Structure formats: C-alpha cells, structure tokens
Amino acid sequence: MTSTAPWTSKKPTAVLVLADGTVIEGVGVGATGKVCAEVCFNTSLTGYQEILTDPSYLGQIVTFTFPHIGNIGTNEEDIEDLTPAARRGAVGVIFKADITEPSSYRASRHLDEWLKSRGVIGLSGIDTRALTAWIRENGAPNAVIAHDPNGVFDIEALKAEARNWGGIEGRDLAKEATSGQSSQWAQTPWVWDEGYGEADPAEAKYHIVCVDYGVKRNILRLFTGLDCKVTVVPAQTSAEDIMALNPDGVFLSNGPGDPAATGEYAVPVIRQVLEKDVPTFGICLGHQMLGLALGATTTKMHQGHHGGNHPVKDHTTGKVEIVSMNHGFAVDSDSLPEGIEETHISLFDGTNCGLRVSGKPVFSVQHHPEASPGPQDSHYLFRRFINMVRERKGEPALAER
C-alpha cells in the first residue's frame, strides 16, 4: 500500500509508518509527538469518545471506518476509563475526513482539543478504506504514528522504530490499565434526559467485587442499576483479599494486552476464587483469563474484532445478537476441556465468544454486553449473572429479557 493522502505542494503534518516500511501521510490532529502501537480498525458509526477511552484499546491506534468523526464534539460524561486523569485508552487515532465543529447540545469541547488533552496522536485526510482493506489482508500491523506541525519527520528512523517494536503479544497491559487502589462505584445508568444517577451502596441488595483489568464505566453502571453495591479492586488483588470482602459475586473485567501475560498472576487468583463456588462472570479479557484458568488456551487473532455490528449466536437461547466487540485475542474453542461448554460463537468467523462451567455459577463472554457504544442486545447477560446470585439467596429469577 502506498501513501493515500491527496498532497500537492503541501507538506504532511502527520505520518503513519508501518513495520513493513509503508508510509502513509496525512494531516495531524490531536497531540504532537510519536508513539509505537498496533493499528486496528473499528466499524462503529457512533460513540467515538467511548471507544477512544476504552482501556481495552491501550497500546493501539484506532482507524475509524466511518468517515465523519468528531461531529458531536466531546463531553465529560461519555468517558469509559475509570480514572480519566490517567488517560488509559487508545494512544493514536486515524480519520478519513477533517474534524468538523461540534453540533451537539451536550458538547463541551472540540474533538481536536480533547485529543490534545489526553495525549492522543491523530492523523486525518487518508483513505481509511484502503488501510482497512490492508489490515484485513495482512493482519493488524505494528506501526509508529507521528505528528509534527512543521512536517519534519525522520522517516528511516520511524521505519526502524516500527520494525523493532515488540507488539502487544506477550505484554501485560492490564497492569497499566488497572486502578491503583480499591474503590466503591455508585453511578447508575444514563437516563434521557436526566443523565447519570447516584445509588446508595448501603441500600444495595447484592455485593459484586469487580477485578479491574481495565474496566469500562458502563459495566459498573449496569451492575449498580441491578441493585448492586460494586467494589472495584486492582488486577493483582489476591483471592484472599477478594473473598474477605464477602462478595455475592465476582466479576472479571475487560482490559488490554495478552491474556497469557496477565494470566501469570491473574489465573492462580481466579482458580482460587472458583474453588469458593462464588458466582463468577467475565467479559472480554476477563473471559479469556477465565478460559485460561479452566484449562483452555488463547491465541492472537489475525485482525481482531472491533466494532458495534458483530453477529454472535447464543447457543443457550438459539438467538443471534448484534454486539459490540473489542479484542485481538480469542479463546481457542478446540482447547476447552471437558465440562466447559461453549455458549456463544461469532458468526463472522466462528471464533469462541462465550463459555460456562457445567453445574457451576460460572460463565463469561468475549463481546461487550454493556455496549457503550453499540447495541444493547446482550444486556440480559447482567441479569443472567444476578440471577445466579439470587438463586444462591433463594430468590426468584429476574426475567432475562
């Protein structure tokens, strides 16, 4: 692939340099500087702010296939990382069209200004369709994205950086995305046009402990909306400390990086939690590490799944759901041991998207049922988890749908 920027005599102010030596020139947006990362593409039409603040994107450059990004500006509410001051999320972004002025009543800042504040380096004005097609053919590449308003780049040095960067495989990025200390979450789901509410944890019926590998806020909100007190604990919290909180259920969150690397310390903890027979639910990275804890293996995907239009079949209901996804690793279906049932599969490529342990209150999914952004077809999974908690307490089940 060659550069696709429509340059005449004008200098590019940003470049994307792939590990194979490909150089793509464009217009710089957001922060200046350079960073090495993996390039992926996201097919969502909306929710760019939630996507860019999803900690699962740490170490990645997001290419948006939708051409017009930034139209609604940004605000202080649509942020998904738990501690936005730490700016855990995508490190780079690629757009086709220039960012326009905000046209939403909720906007408080222009997207370009917001990207600068978070240190996200951006590139616009390129053929994102061509880059997406390249990734589909060749896989998600390692690259350097660089932005210099003066258009001064040492291309050969950038090529060497991209070529020599080790990539995401083998890296434990959850330790960078996790919370630094335990905390309580009380915010409830957003309601039109009131915004987010606040719950009183002292009045909650159930206590969920969330092991934070890079959790999204909307996951926590949905738990709170189901009458749960939510305690968030860092990724390296011991099983003893988790169980000392007397949870009704344990949640294994989403997050970035290679599950096998994070699993070196997380898998032993998960196995000890499972021995306590407490209801356990995992999403995304949490799903992958639950799989590892149960004896399965994970693999790096060719291009990953990133977007809000992915069809997944739930074998437990026979229904097909359109879901939000963001992952570059997958649990190997063929490695699932006896007693572990595959509950969900991707209808794009047949990869594993869910599992459960026969006879135990333990299950997980690869996709993001909390959406934010994306369809809400899979919201029922939160009620399915709470029903496991209710069953332990002798309470009747909630309707899943």
User: Are 15 and 23 within 8 A, CB to CB?
Assistant: yes
User: Are 29 and 14 within 8 A, CB to CB?
Assistant: yes
Residue 147 known to be catalytic: no
Catalytic pick from 36, 210, 284, 353? 284
Residue 370 known to be catalytic: yes
User: Are 325 and 306 within 8 A, CB to CB?
Assistant: yes
Residue 25 known to be catalytic: no
| The two three-digit tokens of residue 279, written as one number | 């209801």
| The two three-digit tokens of residue 394, written as one number | 């002798």
| Catalytically annotated residues | 284, 368, 370
